[in-house]
Amino acid sequence: MNMKRRQFLSTAALATGTLAMPGYLRSAFAEGDAIKVGALYSQTGGLSVVEKMLASAVQMAASEINAAGGVMGRPIEVVTEDGASDPKTYAEKAQKLVIKDRVSTVFGCHTSASRKAVLPIFERRNAMLFYQTHYEGFECSPNVVYSGAVPNQQLGNYIPWIIEKLGKKKFFIVGSNYVYPREMAKVSKGLIEAGGAEWVADEYLELGHSEWAVMVNKIKESGADVVLSNVVGDSIISFYREFINQGLSHEDIPICATVTSEIEIAAMGPEYAAGSYTSFPYFMSLETEANKSFIERYRAFVGDPAATTYHSLEAAYFQVFLWKQAIEASQDTTAEAIREGVRGQTYAAPGGDVKVDEDNLHCWLTPRIGQWTADGQSQIVDEYPEPIKPLPYAAYGEAADNLFCTAQGLDSSKL
């Protein structure tokens, strides 16, 4: 009841305001009636290096849509906020965007920590978050559209391929110590055992840790013939360097990573990663016209002729188009309209076709495996013929014929 009265009051206030406006202003307002969206990424702090790129990708998509006539004839206005690499700041800024700026959609967040921090705000205030980073799954929110990969899209193809094609039997699993690597390890172990191989260790290092001497020594002594790395951030660079410098080689014991992207490869020096593998739905090296044009436009947009693109960047870009199509499908900009409109939307992204799943609002993506070469790019060594269904609860037994997360929400009895 209270809510209704507030709504009535605000509508009344708006109506009076519109009436009081001079005629010329009113028509100008109607014409320039921009659709406001939020872009919530860290512009400062430790994560800003990566997140600024994601913010640029969103900006670029918005400017391309605006140049092509906007959404339902209305331009997009991107309100940028700085999450400052801090989950608490993320929550405050999300609140500001949703309550004060009254946006129904925010593109943003990068780490799982920041997503978890803003999630309650989006659910309580009923707004939509478009989240592009590959993450650990185990989430089923009707208020989030996930355009990045979930474990079954990164590991479901990867582990069997490592066992069968590379002929590896003993896995050394290593990761940074937080939820994403731990969940990835859980999914991996199931797949490793199902493939008839074994894992000899499951080790973790603090986030940001850069002293790898002991861990690499353990890898050496363990007798493992492949390393599965879920290490994130700066640590990746010191890890690969130490790996080579202790005399290990990717030919004998390849590092097979789930996070190492073009960005980290460039920062460590490509010679340290040459021969290792990463599983991602998108690689900068994809030889399609759509991707070449995307790289060219991105480089022009950020004014850096050597700028690098990678999986999350591509997802940050194409999610804006999915959002646009959702609004056009339901002819409305409310959160409900976007949620219902976005189900089943398809888009020809730079990395190939993507589709928003009708059930869990995650994206259908094409799993690919790339082997890094000495020039810092990858060579696609394995690729699915088409996108596969996202299963955010794959670690807990979710399968295409036994869904845990549906449009009705999470069926927690299955967990």
* Binding window for another protein (CB under 8 A); candidates: 68-76, 240-248, 347-355, 366-374: 240-248
182 binds another protein (CB under 8 A): no
205 binds another protein (CB under 8 A): yes
Nearest Cα to 284, choosing from 365, 347, 350?
350
Least distance from C-beta 229 to another protein, angstroms?
A: 15
DSSP label of 10: H
The token duo for 326 is: 């959702």
The size of the interface with another protein (CB under 8 A), counted in residues, is 31
Of 37, 109, 129, 237, which one interacts with another protein (CB under 8 A)?
A: 237
Q: Which is nearer to another protein, 177 or 402 (CB)?
A: 177
Least distance from C-beta 45 to another protein, angstroms?
A: 9
| Cα gap 139→132, rounded to integer Å | 14
84 binds another protein (CB under 8 A): no
203 binds another protein (CB under 8 A): yes
* Binding window for another protein (CB under 8 A); candidates: 12-20, 87-95, 232-240, 375-383: 232-240
Of 11, 245, 293, 406, which one interacts with another protein (CB under 8 A)?
A: 245
The DSSP string of 309-372 is --HHHHHHHHHHHHHHHHHHHHT--SHHHHHHHHTT-EEEETTEEEEE-TTTSBEEB--EEEEE
Of 36, 169, 218, 299, which one interacts with another protein (CB under 8 A)?
A: 218
CB 408 within 8 A of CB 343: no
Nearest Cα to 414, choosing from 400, 399, 401, 404?
404
Secondary structure (3-state) at 376: coil
Angle at 145 between CA 140 and CA 147, to 5 degrees: 110
193 binds another protein (CB under 8 A): no
Least distance from C-beta 46 to another protein, angstroms?
A: 6
310 binds another protein (CB under 8 A): no
Q: Which is nearer to another protein, 195 or 275 (CB)?
A: 275
| Cα gap 41→55, rounded to integer Å | 6
322 binds another protein (CB under 8 A): no
Q: Which is nearer to another protein, 244 or 365 (CB)?
A: 244
160 binds another protein (CB under 8 A): no
**What are the residues whose beta carbons fall under 8 Å from the beta carbon of 254, sequence distance 6 or more?**
166, 168, 226, 227, 275, 276, 277
The token duo for 257 is: 């990573």
46 binds another protein (CB under 8 A): yes
Provide φ and ψ at 7, rounded to 5°: -60, -45
7 binds another protein (CB under 8 A): no
DSSP label of 362: B
Nearest Cα to 286, choosing from 355, 368, 356?
368
Judged by CB under 8 A, the chain residues 265 through 294 that form the site for another protein are: 266-269
**What are the residues whose beta carbons fall under 8 Å from the beta carbon of 294, sequence distance 6 or more?**
309, 314, 317, 350
Q: Which is nearer to another protein, 64 or 203 (CB)?
A: 203
Least distance from C-beta 199 to another protein, angstroms?
A: 16
Judged by CB under 8 A, the chain residues 52 through 71 that form the site for another protein are: 52
| Cα gap 257→360, rounded to integer Å | 26
Q: What is the binding site for another protein (CB under 8 A)?
A: 46, 48-49, 52, 177, 203-206, 208-211, 213-215, 217-218, 234, 237-238, 241-242, 244-247, 266-269
